[in-house]
A and B are shown apart, each in its own frame.
Chain A
């Protein structure tokens, strides 16, 4: 019996491939999730100028390094997309794993930061600033982990030359995770 793709994946009313449209819907829902959290933080931050003093205990060099790492991993996944379109499977596979490596470095730096902060007594329940900090960066970290796992799965298909458009789809998600961090960085590390 031959395999046939479900009709939902082979037909589009919008002119956008169904997989890509689905990822955009994920991004839209994520905008509301992260946007709501960031909006709440901004409201409280404006109301409580003393939070600037709490923010002075976060590590700007570590935050800056992580921003650089995520921007570079975004470059890697978009180059993987380019390579996948050119059907250069080896290159696409390598770039995907460079992106996963970038996610790994990001998590290592974040772990170091959290360990240092917690050891200094700045825990989740120390005050509302730290509650926001751990919730926002923790939720973001979970998205980084999810992206790394999905990329690992996609890379298996890429090696076989299957489902190559998925490289673009995970790229859209990964760039969104990068954009979220571009806002978390000034909020928690720069505005002191």
Chain B
């Protein structure tokens, strides 16, 4: 098999214009000061932009499934990592345990434990 793999190309400038428009929306949305709008505008649009870059610029829309399986495997392990580690980071205590390294500063001061975040 040669290195060559020619394919048809979409209108990249149009895609870039849409991405730029979405960027402007992601900046203006949070200016409204509404938390839900900020989350959707900032992170929802980031996901859409990433999907568009992946699909059209990286050509994932026409890439072989093998690559999709590779990417999904990486994302799956990332999800496992997040949900495996997050309780330890995000919960300060539980049934019969307290994580002194993850207590608010005000609580720790009373126990003489130094902590900076």
* A24-B70, A71-B19 known; A82-B78 Cβ under 8 A: no
Query: Are B117 and A172 within 8 A (Cβ)?
Result: no
Query: Are A28 and B86 within 8 A (Cβ)?
Result: no
Q: Is A104 on the interface with B (CB-CB < 8 A)?
A: no
Q: Is B74 on the interface with A (CB-CB < 8 A)?
A: yes
Using an 8 Å CB-CB cutoff, how does the interface string of B50-86 with A read, 1 for contact, 0 for none?
A: 1001101110000110110011011101100110011
Nearest to B43 among chain A residues (CB) is A186
- Report the count of interface residues on A (CB-CB < 8 A): 63
Query: Are B53 and A35 within 8 A (Cβ)?
Result: no
Give the CA-CA distance A28 to B4 in the complex, in Å: 22
Give the CA-CA distance A129 to B116 in the complex, in Å: 11
* A43-B85, A165-B4, A178-B53 known; A28-B74 Cβ under 8 A: yes
Give the CA-CA distance A36 to B66 in the complex, in Å: 23
Nearest to A191 among chain B residues (CB) is B42
Q: Is B111 on the interface with A (CB-CB < 8 A)?
A: no
A4-63 with Cβ < 8 A to chain B = 9-12, 14-21, 24-25, 27-29, 31-32, 35-36, 39-40, 42-44, 46-48, 50-51, 60
Q: Is B36 on the interface with A (CB-CB < 8 A)?
A: no
> Closest CB of chain B to A189's CB: distance in Å?
9
Chain B interface main SS type? helix
B13-34 with Cβ < 8 A to chain A = 13, 15-16, 19-20, 23, 26-27, 30
Query: Are B82 and A39 within 8 A (Cβ)?
Result: yes
Nearest to A128 among chain B residues (CB) is B117
Give the CA-CA distance A173 to B3 in the complex, in Å: 17
Query: Are B54 and A179 within 8 A (Cβ)?
Result: yes
Q: How many A-B Cβ pairs are below 8 Å?
A: 146
Contacts of A50 in B (CB 8 A): 117
Contacts of B81 in A (CB 8 A): 35-36, 39
Contacts of B54 in A (CB 8 A): 175, 179
Give the CA-CA distance A128 to B102 in the complex, in Å: 13
Q: Is A147 on the interface with B (CB-CB < 8 A)?
A: no
Query: Are A72 and B70 within 8 A (Cβ)?
Result: no
Contacts of B43 in A (CB 8 A): 186, 191
Q: Is A182 on the interface with B (CB-CB < 8 A)?
A: yes
Q: Is A185 on the interface with B (CB-CB < 8 A)?
A: yes
Query: Are A12 and B1 within 8 A (Cβ)?
Result: yes
Contacts of B49 in A (CB 8 A): 71, 182
Give the CA-CA distance A129 to B90 in the complex, in Å: 15
Nearest to A168 among chain B residues (CB) is B5
- Those 6 A-B pairs whose CB atoms lie nearest each other, nearest first: A186-B42, A165-B3, A190-B42, A43-B89, A75-B16, A35-B78
B-side interface residues toward A, CB under 8 Å?
1-6, 9, 12-13, 15-16, 19-20, 23, 26-27, 30, 38, 41-43, 46, 49-50, 53-54, 56-58, 63-64, 66-67, 70-71, 73-75, 77-78, 81-82, 85-86, 89-90, 102, 116-117
